[in-house]
């Protein structure tokens, strides 16, 4: 089931890989890069006892961590930007967007962390996937819709597999998640396995 978690990560990544999001994330990364300079890093360490996390493609949830850390240092960035360091300047609207992005990505990040912390069965994956889909659908923002669209494309392939559906069907805790269209496929998967 680790491949299902990875598929979810890729769907989220794909949803964030839209031009308007990429441009905004690039601007956030520029601020983070400036925060990583040795002189600023030592000030942050003295003031807060921590330094920021630089966005890394290979780390799960690294975008969320980067945004979370940037918001942690918002006050410092605003003070230094007001003193003339343009590289740390974000407008009020941009800071609001950073906060909105943090709020949006908290749920997908938590979902992935939860899935990585347990023995994932097909039923658990389906439950968490559908809960996240519902959250994104209710959010309705452009970025949420992009992530949701990517998840739906992956879902068609992942949740259409008769063996995956059979795994959900045999676990009575999660059988209720199956739609009327999926139940016959799940039974077909059971017959194929037997």
Q: Does 93 reside within a domain?
A: yes
Tokens of 44: 């942050």
Domain that holds residue 114: 2-121
pLDDT band for position 73 (cuts 50, 70, 90) = confident
Q: Does 165 reside within a domain?
A: no
Q: For residues 189 and 60, give the distance between their C-alpha atoms in angstroms, rounded to a whole number.
A: 32
Q: Does 24 reside within a domain?
A: yes
pLDDT over 70 (residue 121):
yes
- Over residues 42-62, the mean pLDDT reads 62
- Over residues 86-101, the mean pLDDT reads 92
Q: Does 43 reside within a domain?
A: yes
Angstrom distances, CA of residue 96 to CA of 38, 77, 92, 114: 28, 14, 6, 27
Q: Is 12 within 8 Å of 108 (Cβ atoms)?
A: yes
Q: Does 13 reside within a domain?
A: yes
pLDDT band for position 58 (cuts 50, 70, 90) = very low
pLDDT in tens, 138-189: 998 889 999 999 999 988 888 889 999 999 999 999 999 999 999 999 999 9
Q: Does 162 reside within a domain?
A: no
Q: Which residue reads 């920021």 in tokens?
A: 52
pLDDT number for residue 53: 54
Q: Does 117 reside within a domain?
A: yes
The domain tally of the chain equals 1
pLDDT in tens, 17-34: 888 888 998 898 888 888
Q: For residues 160 and 157, give the distance between their C-alpha atoms in angstroms, rounded to a whole number.
A: 5
Q: Does 189 reside within a domain?
A: no
Which DSSP string corresponds to 124-183?
Answer: HHHHHHHHHHHHHHHH--HHHHHHHHHHHHHHHHHTT-HHHHHHHHHSTTTGGGS-TTHH
What is the residue-averaged pLDDT of the chain? 86
Q: For residues 110 and 166, give the distance between their C-alpha atoms in angstroms, rounded to a whole number.
A: 27
pLDDT over 50 (residue 190):
yes
Q: For residues 101 and 103, give the distance between their C-alpha atoms in angstroms, rounded to a whole number.
A: 5
Q: Is 178 left (phi over 0), alpha (psi -120 to 50) or beta?
A: beta
């Amino acid at each position: 089931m680790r491949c299902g978690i990875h598929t979810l990560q890729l769907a989220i990544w794909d949803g964030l890989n839209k031009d308007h999001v990429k441009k905004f994330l690039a601007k956030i990364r520029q601020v983070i890069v400036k925060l990583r300079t040795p002189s600023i890093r030592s000030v942050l360490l003295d003031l807060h006892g921590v330094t920021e996390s630089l966005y890394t493609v290979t780390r799960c949830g690294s975008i969320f961590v980067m945004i979370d850390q940037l918001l942690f240092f918002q006050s410092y960035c605003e003070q230094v930007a007001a003193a003339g360091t343009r590289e740390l300047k974000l407008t009020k609207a941009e800071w609001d967007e950073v906060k909105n992005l943090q709020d949006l990505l908290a749920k997908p990040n938590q979902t992935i962390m939860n899935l990585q912390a347990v023995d994932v069965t097909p039923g658990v994956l389906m439950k968490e996937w559908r809960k996240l889909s519902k959250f994104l659908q209710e959010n309705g923002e452009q970025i949420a819709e992009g992530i949701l669209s990517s998840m739906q494309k992956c879902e068609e392939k992942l949740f259409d597999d008769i063996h995956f559906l059979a795994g959900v069907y045999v676990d009575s805790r999660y059988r209720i998640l199956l739609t009327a269209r999926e139940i016959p496929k799940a039974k077909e998967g059971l017959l194929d396995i037997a």
